[in-house]
Amino acid sequence: MKRLSLFLVSVLFAVNSFADDHYTTAVDLVNAAVKEGSSGNASNLVRFATRALEKTKADAVTAPSDIKLLLNNASAELQKAIEHGSLGHPGEATKYAKAAALHIKIVSTR
């Protein structure tokens, strides 16, 4: 029984750490997008925001409903950031990337 308990605790810890790593990666990507947009580099913002969007959408698939809502909101903001960045509007794209970053950071602190 002790072995089973230890195994289950280990699995839960690993799953929790795995989820944290996923959200941390998304936060890092969206922060890089914001940095690039703040520097006026729309093309790099789009590159990082696209990777963050892919990560965020993938994480939303298996997330609980409250987390899924935040990730879906972040995805919508990232999509707008990509659209504006693709049009060469880094300032507007950065605003949307910052909004996405806020949603993802909330998720990563849970």
- In contact, 51 and 36? CB cutoff 8 Å: no
- Going by C-alpha positions, the residue among 66, 69, 67, 55 that lies closest to residue 22 is 55
Residue type at position 6: L
pLDDT at 21 over 90: no
Question: 3-state DSSP call for residue 63?
Answer: coil
Domain count, the chain: 1
pLDDT-derived band at 75 (thresholds 50, 70, 90) equals very high
Domain assignment of residue 15, given as a range: 2-108
First to last CA, the chain: 30
CATH number at residue 80: 1.20.120.660
What confidence tens digit (pLDDT) does each residue in 34-57 have? Answer: 999 999 999 999 999 999 999 999
